[in-house]
Amino acid sequence: MMQRIKPFLLTNGPMLISIAIFILVYFAGSRVYPNMQKTQVFFNLFINQASLMIISIGMTLVLITGGIDLSVAGMIALTSAASASLLAKGASPALVIPLMLVMGVAFGTTIGSLIQFLKVQPFIVSLMGLFFARGMAYIITLEGLPIENPTYRLLALTKVYIPFLGKTYVYIPSLIGPILLLVVIYLSFFTRFGRTVYAIGNNEQSARLMGLPVGRTKIIVYAFSGFCSALAGIVWSISLLSGYGGYAPGMELDAISSVVIGGTLLTGGVGNVIGTLFGVLINGTIVSILQFNGTLSSWWTRIGVGVLTLIFIGIQSLFYMRKKHS
């Protein structure tokens, strides 16, 4: 184990920087706004960014293979609209939730197959997927539908108290992200699938010649992203108790930003989900700080995230350029 730590430190520089910056930003924010020092504020990050965390985790694997999945936010919208519609017609959540997950997997598999077999750029295919998903969501319900199902309400309003931390709580859907994180950590480091993902991102040709199941893995990665999007959509529908085609606008970009800030290279082969976790937390922290400020309008968030992403990219470029020359 000891032997693995040193190279780990070397190869994960940007991620460690992200963690450091998260701590820094959070600290700075809590100094300026004393109300931020409450522990609940930290856990609110997990509540508010629940959906973003889930799709970012799925996105991480896709980006590591060197691909990209722009359809994730569309899938959230579609899931919310489809769930709302089915629940309104009286279907039980026990049917709806698994069905949505299956839909997500099918959707992702289709995208992955188009990329793998038609050899089209992931950017284009997933973009199409985004349009298609949102379009379908609007066809299901043009104006949006409320969700009145009691199980959903229960899931939305039940507080889960954090052990040892008194009154701090999260909601049930907020737990899904961290659990998924643990699952994907295991996948990334302890399964052939995960290692193949990294291999593909480094050199797809080599991975294929090494006999690794490249085609299958690439499709699975998109199927998994579709699964995550649907899962995030379910979480979203629970949180907002409604479904609408216009939900989560631009969230695919927030996901990509989070993953990149977390240390994953867009070119693939480098990065991991732990970094993504911190990328999402940084995103959420900025939103929190703006909320606490109260006077700055929300469109400053967009500028803020933009600037931050720029800084991180700069750090990444420097770090990897220097590494290349050494």
Binding site for other proteins (CB under 8 A): 3-4, 7, 11, 114, 118-121, 123-125, 127-132, 134-136, 138-139, 142, 186, 189-192, 195-196, 198-199, 201-203, 205-212, 245, 250, 253, 256-257, 260, 266-267, 269-270, 297, 299-300, 302-303, 305-307, 309-310, 313-314, 317, 321
Q: How far is the CB of 313 from other proteins (least distance, A)?
A: 5
Q: How far is the CB of 316 from other proteins (least distance, A)?
A: 9
Instruction: For residue 145, give the H/E element and its range.
Output: strand 145-146
Q: Which is nearer to other proteins, 23 or 128 (CB)?
A: 128
Spatial distance between the Cα atoms of 101 and 229, rounded to a whole number of angstroms? 9
Q: Which is nearer to other proteins, 47 or 315 (CB)?
A: 315
The Cβ of residue 203 has, within 10 Å, a number of other Cβ atoms equal to 14
Q: How far is the CB of 39 from other proteins (least distance, A)?
A: 30
Which alpha helices (H) appear in 65-121, and where do they start and end?
Answer: 72-88, 93-117
Q: How far is the CB of 219 from other proteins (least distance, A)?
A: 17
Q: Which is nearer to other proteins, 23 or 195 (CB)?
A: 195
Q: How far is the CB of 292 from other proteins (least distance, A)?
A: 19
Is the C-alpha dihedral spanning 80, 85, 90, 96 positive or negative?
Answer: negative
Is the C-alpha dihedral spanning 175, 287, 271, 101 positive or negative?
Answer: positive
Spatial distance between the Cα atoms of 244 and 45, rounded to a whole number of angstroms? 24
Residues in contact with 259: Cβ distance below 8 Å, sequence separation at least 6, in sequence order: 56, 59, 60, 63, 271, 275, 276, 279
Q: Which is nearer to other proteins, 146 or 306 (CB)?
A: 306
